[in-house]
Chains A and B, each alone.
Chain A
């Protein structure tokens, strides 16, 4: 069965960077992409971007341009999200989800979420 398992809780100081991993299993990793969505405490869902599992092509939300990097490691079927220049506004649960299409909002399997807290 398809599973996405994310790395654990992170606590970072303002200005630092965080790297969250998403280990995929149960499907052909290079056939689909991975999207990242975050959710601040008590808030709604926010799309951050998409990465192809096939060739690493990316599409980032404009608001994160310049401080967001998404990567994949096909040998370990793992996707990574790295967000830099953290502020308290980046405190959120970060989710990865399988994204079979580069466009559209079809996400059929989700990771369990990774809480990132930014605090001095």
Chain B
């Protein structure tokens, strides 16, 4: 049971928009920034969004992030076949002397 809650799966056809939610609490998302990671099959995670909505260099602007209260979301617009991957949200949690919590991950399938 992950501290941050994500839907296990999402899907869309090429060109569509997909949204992934990430729900937390006051000790994590409610008081800290959210980062998103993309993990392609058989590879290490890759930083996709940091500090709620910033994109690292090289990440297409089809990916966008937002945060409101104790929830965050990742949107993928203009879905492409190469976006088929697992997506994880992550945040610092102020409890227990501070630690990082991840969402359980969302598998995005391009139909």
Residues of A within 8 A of B (CB): 35, 37, 44-47, 50, 59, 61-62, 95, 97, 103-108, 110-113
With A104-B32, A105-B92 as contacts: A44 and B103 at CB distance below 8 Å: yes
Within 8 Å by CB of B101, from A47, A106, A107, A112, lies A47
Residues of B within 8 A of A (CB): 2, 32-35, 37, 39, 44-47, 50-51, 56, 88, 90-92, 96-105
With A45-B45, A110-B45 as contacts: A35 and B100 at CB distance below 8 Å: yes
A113 to B34, CA, bound (A): 23
A4 to B7, CA, bound (A): 31
Q: For B34, list chain A residues within 8 Å (CB).
A: 105
| Least CB distance, A14 to chain B, in whole angstroms | 25
With A45-B88, A59-B97, A104-B33 as contacts: A95 and B44 at CB distance below 8 Å: yes
A62 to B93, CA, bound (A): 12
Q: For B105, list chain A residues within 8 Å (CB).
A: 44-45
A69 to B101, CA, bound (A): 20
Closest to B34 in A: A105
Q: For A97, list chain B residues within 8 Å (CB).
A: 45
Q: For A50, list chain B residues within 8 Å (CB).
A: 100
Q: For B35, list chain A residues within 8 Å (CB).
A: 104-107
Q: For A105, list chain B residues within 8 Å (CB).
A: 34-35, 90-92, 100-102
| Least CB distance, A65 to chain B, in whole angstroms | 10
A47 to B47, CA, bound (A): 15
The 5 closest A-B pairs by CB, nearest first: A105-B90, A47-B100, A110-B44, A44-B105, A45-B102
A31 to B55, CA, bound (A): 22
With A45-B45, A107-B47, A110-B44 as contacts: A62 and B92 at CB distance below 8 Å: no
With A47-B99, A47-B102, A110-B46 as contacts: A104 and B56 at CB distance below 8 Å: no
